[in-house]
Structure 1
Amino acid sequence: MIEFKMPTLAAEIEAATLVEWFKQPGDHIKRGDVIALAETQTGAIEIEAFDEGVIGEQRVQPGRQIEVGTVLATIFSSEEADRPLRAAKASGAVARHPYERRRSARPSTVRPRPAERTSAGCQQGGMLTIDGFSSAWPLANGAGDPAELAFDHAREPRMSKRGGAAREDLRKANGAAMLRSHREIPHYWVSHAIDATPLLEWVEAENAGRRAKNRLVYLAPLMKAAALALKDVPDLNGHYGERGFRPSSAVHMGLATPLRGGGLVAPAIRDTAARSVDELMFAIAALAPRARLGRLRRSEIADATIVLNNLVAGNVDGIFPLIHPPQVAIIACGAAGPRPWAIADTVCVRQVIQVTVAGDHRVSHALRAAEFLSRLSELLSKPEAL
C-alpha cells in the first residue's frame, strides 16, 4: 500500500484547499493521471498520480485545507486490490470488488468533460484572446487545437466569484516568492542584443506555406533554441535546495504568463529541447488559456527548471528579472524591434531582441551566462536547423 501525499505545488505554496476528486475508491490509475483538483493562491492546480494502482481510502474530503505532505489517499497495487476477489472466488462466495460498496454510496464529483465544453479561444489583433481576455503571446490565426483552447465554463463562475479577494491573495503569493528570491539569491545579470532578423524571416517564410491553424510564432523556435543552448550550459538549468545545486538532465522550460486579475504563473513545457518547433507551438497554444484561467497541472507548476519571460507586449526593449526559487536562472526577452546594426563596415536596420539572463552566484557566474547568450545567438542565426 502506498500513501499518496499532498505534493509540493510550487516554492511559494505551502497549503491548498482540496476542491474535488476526479478518481474514486476502486478506480484504477496510472502514473500521470489527474486524480484531484486543489485551489491555491495562483488558481486551481490539477494533482497527478505518481504511481500505478487502485485508489483505496480517500482520507481528505473536498473543502478541507491541506498542507504539503498530508496523506490524501491510499493506493494499492493491482495485485493487492485483487486479492479479496481471488479469495472470494476460491471460497465460492459472490466476488465483489472490495471498494464497490463505497463507490456506490458516494456520488461521483467528476464533472462532464470535453463533450460539454465550448471553445472560447479566438483571434483578435494578432493576440490570443480567451473569452475577451488578451494574452501576451501573439499567436498565428487559428493556431492550436480548438479542443485544447477550450475551457470549462462550468468551473469559471466558481473561480470568478473569488473576485478581488483572490487577486490580493495572488499578489501576496507572488510578492512572497519574489521577496524570497531577492533576499536569498545572490543575483547577477548579463544582457545581450541578438539579431533576430533570420528568425523572423524564417517564421514568415514558413507560415507562407502553411494553413492558418499550423502557423508559427517566433516564441516556439526561440524556446527551442534556448533549450538547446542550455544543454551546453547546464549550470543554468536545475534547482538549488538544502543539499546545494541539483542540475537537471532535461530542460523543462516555464513560460511566464500573466493571470486573470493580476499576478504571474510560469507553467513548464517538459523536455523542451527534445520537442520539435511544431510540437512546441502546439504546447504553447494549449497551455496559454489553461494558465490564464488558473487550471494547470502540478507538474507544470513544480517541474520547471528555468523560466523564459517573453515580454512581447508594448515597446519594452528588455527586462531584468528575478529568479523563481528553487531555480537558479531565468531568461527574459524584450520585444523584437528595428535597430541600427553594424555588419562589417555597413550600418543597416535589423530586427533585434534584447535577451537578459539572471543567474545565481552560488551556482554559476557571468561568464557562463555569456556563453549561453553566445550559443543562443548562434542557434537563432540558423533557425531552419532547429
Structure 2
Amino acid sequence: MSDFLMPSLGADMEAGTLVEWQVAPGDRVEKGQVVAVVETAKGAIDVEVFESGVVEECYVEPDTRVPVGTPLARIGSGERIVDERPGVVPEPGAAEATVPEPAEEPPPAPVPLPPQGPGPVIAPAPEGGRAMASPAARRRARELGVALESLSGSGPGGAIVLRDIDQEAAGGTPRPAPRTEPRRGGDFDRDEMRQAIAATMSRAKREIPHYYLATTLDLYAAERWLADYNRERPPEARLLMAALFMKATARALARYPDLNGHYDEQGFHPAERVDLGMAIHLRGGGLIAPAVRDAATLDLPALMSRLQDLVQRARRGGLRASELGSATATVTALGERGVDTVYGVIHPPQVAMIGFGSLRRRPLAVDEMLAIRPAVDVSLAADHRVCDGHLGALFLNEIDAQLQHPEAL
C-alpha cells in the first residue's frame, strides 16, 4: 500500500490544482493509467499512476490546490477496503468490502452503486443508514467534530464532500462552486505561465554556470536523402527535417551521457535513456517542453509521429505528467521564425539545451571549392559543473556526423 502524490510537472511547479478524478475508490488501476487531471500554470495535465493496485481512498476533493508531494489517494491491494455503511455492494472487479452483520437479524437488502463517473463514487445510504459522504469528508468531519447528519451535500447525488465540511466549519460561509471543466489547450493563464517561466529561467541563470558553443552543419546529404524518402510516400507519411535533428541529437546524447541527465543537491545523475524534450510554442504566448521518451531508439517514422502527436496535444490539451517531468535534455528550434542561431537557457534539473536555427543556403568550402549548400547553425548550452567545452565540442561534432549519414538514423 502506498500514497499517490501530487507530482512535480517541472522545476517551476510548487503546487497544482486537482480538477478531476477519473477513478473512484474501489477501482482497479494499472501502471501508466491516467487517474486524475491536474491544472498547473501550463494548463491541464493528465496524471498517471506508477503502480498497479486498487484505489482505496481519495484524500483530495476536486478544485483543491495542494503543494507538490501532497498525498492525493491511497493505492493498495484492495484487500483491506472496509465500507462502514451497511448494505453497500462493491462494483464488479473491485475488492470485496467487509460488511458488518447484526448479530440477531439479517443485513438490509443490497443497494447497487450508481454509474461511475469523474470524482469519488458514493453509494446511497439505505434508509436509516449513515449520511452519504466521501471518505475524505468523513475524515475531515471527525477531525472538526462536524455531524454529517446535519448537512446537505453538494456532491454527486447529494453526497457530502470536503467543501461542505469546510463551509460548515467556517460558519456556513458559501464557498465558490468548483469548475466543472479543467482548462485545456490554449486556454491557459498567460500571466501565470509567464511568472512560472520567469521563476525557472531566473533559477537556471542564477544556479547553473552555462557555457555556450555553436557550429554550422552542412545539410546537403540530409536534404537529398529526405527529398528521396518523401518522394515515394503520401503526405501523411513524410518526414520533416526536425525529425532528423531530433534523432541525431538523441543519438549524440546517448554517446555522451554527461549531457543527458539531471543535476540536484547530490550532484549529476546520468539518465539510463534519452527522453528528449522539445520546446513547443503555445498559441497565446506560452511555452512547454514535453519529452519524446527513449528517442534514441525510435526509428524516424515513429519519431515523426511522436513529434506531431506532442505538438497537437500540447496545443489542445492532453499532455501526460510523464511527458513533462521526464526530459533528460531539451531541443529548441526557431528555424521557422527565421533565426540563424538560438542560445538556449538550460531547464533545471537538466544540464543541456540544444538549439537549431533556420535552414539556409550558404556558401561553404567543399573539397577545396566554394559551393552553395543547405546549412543550419546548431548551438549547445551546457552545465559547466558537469562537463567542459571539450566534451561539448565533441558532442556537436557527433550531431554533425549523424546528419552526414541520414540513411542510418
TM-score scaled by length of structure 2? 0.76
Q: Distance in 1 between matches of 2:229 and 2:185?
A: 39
Cα distance, 1:162 vs structure 2 = 6.1
Cα distance, 1:293 vs structure 2 = 3.0
1:58-207 matches, within 5 Å, as 58-77=58-77, 85=96, 104=114, 107-108=117-118, 158-159=183-184, 166-207=189-230
Structure 1: 5+ residue stretches without partners: 111-153
Cα distance, 1:107 vs structure 2 = 4.8
* Correspondence for 2:326 among 290, 303, 325: 303
Cα distance, 1:295 vs structure 2 = 3.1
Task: Determine the structure 1 residue equivalent to 2:384.
Answer: 361
SS of the counterpart of 2:225? helix
Structure number having the greater strand percentage: 1
Task: Determine the structure 2 residue equivalent to 1:320.
Answer: 343
Cα distance, 1:79 vs structure 2 = 5.1
Query: Per chain length, whose mean CA-contact separation is higher, i.e. which structure has more relative contact order (CA < 8 Å, sep 6+)?
Result: 1
* Correspondence for 1:240 among 235, 259, 263: 263
Cα distance, 1:314 vs structure 2 = 2.7
Deviations 1:244-265 (A, max 9, x none): 0000010000000011221211
Deviations 1:320-347 (A, max 9, x none): 1100000001100001110000012200
Note closer, same or farther for the CA distance 1:155–1:333 as it changes in structure 2 (3 Å cut): farther
Note closer, same or farther for the CA distance 1:224–1:105 as it changes in structure 2 (3 Å cut): closer
Structure 1 residue 378 corresponds to structure 2 residue 401: yes
SS of the counterpart of 1:7? coil
Residues 79, 96 of structure 2: 8 Å contact kept: no
Q: Distance in 2 between matches of 1:379 and 1:245?
A: 26
Structure 1 letter corresponding to 2:243 = A
Cα distance, 1:155 vs structure 2 = 5.9
* Correspondence for 1:290 among 280, 298, 313: 313
* Correspondence for 1:214 among 225, 232, 237: 237
Structure 1 residue 56 corresponds to structure 2 residue 56: yes
Note closer, same or farther for the CA distance 1:362–1:209 as it changes in structure 2 (3 Å cut): same
Residues 31, 52 of structure 1: 8 Å contact kept: yes
Task: Determine the structure 2 residue equivalent to 1:141.
Answer: none
Q: Distance in 1 between matches of 2:60 and 2:68?
A: 13
Q: How large is the RMSD of aligned CA atoms in angstroms?
A: 2.9
Q: Distance in 2 between matches of 1:35 and 1:272?
A: 26
Q: Distance in 2 between matches of 1:247 and 1:280?
A: 23
* Correspondence for 2:280 among 257, 270, 278: 257
Task: Determine the structure 2 residue equivalent to 1:34.
Answer: 34
Task: Determine the structure 2 residue equivalent to 1:18.
Answer: 18
Structure 2: 5+ residue stretches without partners: 82-92, 100-105, 121-179
Deviations 1:298-329 (A, max 9, x none): 11111000000011213211111100000001
Q: Which has the larger radius of gyration?
A: 2
Structure 2 letter corresponding to 1:276 = D
Task: Determine the structure 2 residue equivalent to 1:46.
Answer: 46
SS of the counterpart of 1:37? strand
Task: Determine the structure 2 residue equivalent to 1:122.
Answer: none
Q: Distance in 1 between matches of 2:280 and 2:187?
A: 20
SS of the counterpart of 1:324? coil
1:276-287 matches, within 5 Å, as 276-287=299-310
SS of the counterpart of 1:295? coil
Note closer, same or farther for the CA distance 1:162–1:230 as it changes in structure 2 (3 Å cut): closer
Structure 1 letter corresponding to 2:231 = A
* Correspondence for 1:337 among 360, 373, 394: 360
Note closer, same or farther for the CA distance 1:159–1:223 as it changes in structure 2 (3 Å cut): closer
Q: Distance in 2 between matches of 1:202 and 1:83?
A: 54
Note closer, same or farther for the CA distance 1:294–1:83 as it changes in structure 2 (3 Å cut): closer
TM-score scaled by length of structure 1? 0.81
Structure 2 letter corresponding to 1:299 = S
Residues 170, 262 of structure 1: 8 Å contact kept: no
Note closer, same or farther for the CA distance 1:34–1:107 as it changes in structure 2 (3 Å cut): closer
Residues 181, 325 of structure 1: 8 Å contact kept: yes
Identity %: 40
Task: Determine the structure 2 residue equivalent to 1:266.
Answer: 289
Residues 255, 266 of structure 1: 8 Å contact kept: yes
